[in-house]
Amino acid sequence: MVTAVALVAFGFVMGTALISDTAASSGSSTVLMPQQALQTPIPLDSPALVTDTERLFADIYNRVSPSVVSINVVATAGQDSPFSDSGLAFGSGSGFVIDQQGYIVTNNHVVDGAQDIEVNFFDGTIVRGEIVGLDPDSDLAVLRVDLPADRLHPVTFADSNQLVIGQTTLAIGSPFGQRWTLTSGIVSALDRTIEGLGRFSIGSVVQTDAAINPGNSGGVLLNLQGQVIGVNSQIISRSNSSSGIGFAIPSNLVQRVSRELIADGEVDYSYLGIVGGDVDLAMIEAASLPNNLRGVVIEQAEAGGPASAAGLRNASNFVNVNGLERPRSVDIVTAIDGIPVAGMSSLISYLASNTIPGQSVNLTVYRDSQQVVVPVVLGARP
């Protein structure tokens, strides 16, 4: 059985394959009509059988669920789809309201290619959604619905740079079509990297063991203040369902991307123009580096790109270390604007969340056993 990284929209596998909603039911389960299936707020004046932690979870659920939406999508089926009789494919995911103008954040892979988008609210309201902008590089999208401001309940965001491993997380979404499902876990790791839908990776991703399944895509990952710390997006799984390794796009990147999609319909990312990787043991041995050095190894500075123009150098003088080719002469980025760079993930995240094309940044570079500061004027992603 092969372990795979899976996008967690329900109904699509990479946007093409259909999974019937009936797959979520088995045995003698009762099928509820939509009006019966509406979630009922959990009473907080229950007997002492409910612990303080459970009351807190219930309170957060009751406060945030009106901000969370369930999204149903009709899209054009791929040419090789087994469901090509109608030429359509059906999928679902989650999203959340970010302001009282009707803007909603979800994942790009939930709504890309959609012909029709249905947005379901916690109070039973159902409306059409329109795509405002898509950003494959971050796998984020912004929709808009036409509702009065007093019927929209925006989320609040936390600073994802302040997260710590071990803190409690809560996820609300529609796994396997089961709307407004609450699951809990912890921040299992920080500074993860996942693939975007374009040429570029997504950095500083939050890893959680809160159950995330197909249909959770685009839903919220929360802290115990009920603030959004990330957007649930991918899982690693052998079964295409939760195995305790889920990934959420960090809230700081979500805020930057949503602002630009609303303003311009696209995101204008900065570009450094390098191919790089993290420092590993073979690299340390090949280049005689300090064994606690962390940073981004510049394997190649793209000819004519910002890094090359600033004087950053390609790796050279390669040697074999236990079957691995590693350079003896190399530039290693250890900080950007004075902020330490642990690896490629943190460099990608800083550039995506904090910089724009044309901006100048100062890279601290470990070169020839010395730290040097190299100013770089960033370009725009091609």
Q: Enumerate the active-site residues.
A: 109, 139, 217
| 8 A C-beta contact, residue 346 and residue 191 | yes
| 8 A C-beta contact, residue 210 and residue 171 | yes
Q: Angle, nearest 10°, between helix axes 251-264 and 344-354?
A: 40
| 8 A C-beta contact, residue 176 and residue 166 | no
Of 132, 351, 364, 381, whose CA–CA distance to 263 is shortest? 132
| 8 A C-beta contact, residue 273 and residue 308 | yes
Cα distance between residue 247 and residue 192, in whole Å: 8
Using DSSP bridges, classify how beta strands 168-173 and 181-195 pair: parallel, antiparallel or unpaired.
antiparallel
Let me know the angle formed at the C-alpha of 327 by 324 and 329, rounded to the nearest 5 degrees: 165
Cα distance between residue 247 and residue 13, in whole Å: 17
| 8 A C-beta contact, residue 348 and residue 201 | yes
